[in-house]
Chain A
């Protein structure tokens, strides 16, 4: 009986020695996210506009139905999204929108600190998504 008690105590004592800590001092020190990490979305820009052609594939595939796209045509006759909004409160970060996009116009970044104060702050509009 005492042998087992001593064994348990020795295990905890061994961990007391320096060098066993696995803590990451979070706000000061951040973990590197993997390249595949599914964080905040980003609309990919080209030279003068967003790459998105407003094909409606991502709002269709989105299981949370949180993407709003309204398409329009610019003077060159190209389709572009007049409105492109993702409601981050509904998004489940499944990554289907990225998978569905035929022109790779949307991707996911490694930003995960998305806390905010107001509901409206979670409506990520096209401008915000292009910037992120």
Chain B
């Protein structure tokens, strides 16, 4: 018996309930990961730097993110008198919302099946399966820039302005490279839906039985695209070595110099939410999504955590690039490489 997919028209109540549950679970889990990503980052970087990281709040400092959140929540919220107050307030929201929204199209497990009233239903473990999922993600990433630019302009501070300008330039150039590197992926998968892309990565590598010990993950067919995507998205989410917009030692705190209290916390959360999103996308596009030895979402979370560890590890190790070098890398190295990759992929697909 093939399971029936829940739809709004056929089974409105079940659909709504399932949807609500999925949204709440995904949101809460993401928020939790955001909170504990800050903890993990401080612990991991601390250990790498022969420190301990937080130890005082709760056992092993486990309550630290909550304490930080509380502290920021109760701090005085300052809006500089010369700032444009509306843009100043809207900016942190504009950066956080897209970061969370991207999670919507990411499948985090195989279909969940259950019987109700004698019918077998299947719920896709994905909030919604947009047929243009990848485009949606790119669009959301693009929206995030506005938050930073607005924050930079609205603060009416020179450091913030420089941070805003830097991030505009940086995000635009790296979105291009990261976006183009994904093109090669959907040339292979022939779909823009995230679900479709995961489905295309099942089975043995390149359909060859002799390679059955390797899964058909796109990392193997598209290593260059993977590299470009990772570097590009690191730049897009402002992680070291591309953290120029908030380069502490140069621009004090970049676009969020003038922010305080909860608004500052929103920027902070957005950074980590973005990190989760990017990890999730990378896991979906290149590492077979939820496929793997364990139960669906466990595989997925493991992959996401592995990526996040990698980002943190990079942050502990590398120095920061300079503005012009960043532009050089974006436009003169990564963009051509992404284009070449597309051409080669095209030729390979034609010849195969």
Contacts and interface: CB of A to CB of B under 8 A. Distances in A.
Interface of A: 5, 8-9, 11-13, 15-16, 18, 20-23, 25
A16 B318 contact: no
Contact of B317 (A8, A18, A20, A25): A8
B50 A20 contact: yes
Nearest to A10: B317
Contacts of A9: 313-314, 317
B48 A23 contact: no
A116 B316 CA distance: 37
A11 B49 CA distance: 10
B316 A22 contact: no
Contacts of A5: 318
A21 B48 contact: no
Contact of A16 (B47, B55, B314): B47
Contacts, number: 34
B313 A12 contact: yes
Question: Interface residues of B toward A: which range?
Answer: 10 to 19
B317 A21 contact: no
Contact of A15 (B49, B52, B55, B318): B49
B313 A23 contact: no
A20 B53 CA distance: 13
Contacts of B52: 21, 23, 25
A12 B51 contact: no
B49 A13 contact: no
A23 B50 CA distance: 7
A12 B52 CA distance: 14
A13 B313 contact: yes
B51 A13 contact: no
Nearest to B48: A12
Contacts of B44: 16
Contacts of A15: 47-50
A18 B318 CA distance: 22
A13 B49 CA distance: 10
A8 B50 contact: no
Contacts of B48: 12-13, 15-16
